[in-house]
């Protein structure tokens, strides 16, 4: 019976928390890439790479700050709040990935990137968020 309870705890709590941490760290890494080398990473977003001038780099760095802060919010919530709160934050932040996907599709960008990167990210964030909200 005790082994079942440990496995149940692991499946419903540790896995979603680990995925939440991976999502947060991943988005922080992506954000740092936009801050350090926006021209190099901008092509992976799903839109045509923009012009390489100072104004464009500044706009791309705005995305970098957004991503770093989004990841830090998740990690901060993991350290200071309950699992339910982390789940709610993930649900709310999944709107960022949904918005990115919608903008790429609406702008004639790469459908495969829109769905495979941003759409999957949104779906994973929704699932992990819901699992954390309902965790014991």
The predicted structure's pLDDT at residue 54: 87
Tally of structural domains, the chain: 1
Residue stretches of the chain with pLDDT short of 70: 1-12, 136
Whether the Cβ atoms of residue 50 and residue 60 lie closer than 8 Å to each other: yes
Q: Give the range of the structural domain holding residue 120, as residue numbers without chain letter.
A: 2-133
Distance CA 7, CA 77 (A): 25
- The encoded tokens of residue 121 equal 């990210």
The predicted structure's pLDDT at residue 8: 62
List the Cα angle 134/9/23 in 5-degree steps. 65
The predicted structure's pLDDT at residue 76: 96
Reported pTM:
0.85
């Amino acid at each position: 019976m005790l082994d079942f309870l440990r496995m149940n705890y692991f499946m419903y709590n540790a896995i979603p928390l680990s995925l939440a941490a991976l999502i947060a760290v991943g988005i922080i890494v992506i954000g740092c890439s936009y801050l350090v080398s926006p021209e190099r990473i901008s092509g992976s977003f799903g839109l045509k790479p923009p012009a390489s001038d100072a104004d464009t780099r500044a706009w791309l760095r705005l995305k970098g700050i957004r991503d770093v802060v989004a990841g830090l919010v998740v990690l901060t919530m993991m350290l200071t709040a309950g699992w339910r709160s982390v789940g709610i934050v993930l649900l709310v932040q999944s709107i960022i990935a949904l918005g990115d996907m919608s903008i790429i599709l609406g702008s004639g960008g790469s459908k495969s990137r829109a769905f495979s990167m941003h759409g999957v990210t949104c779906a994973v964030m929704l699932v992990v968020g819901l699992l954390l909200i309902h965790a014991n």
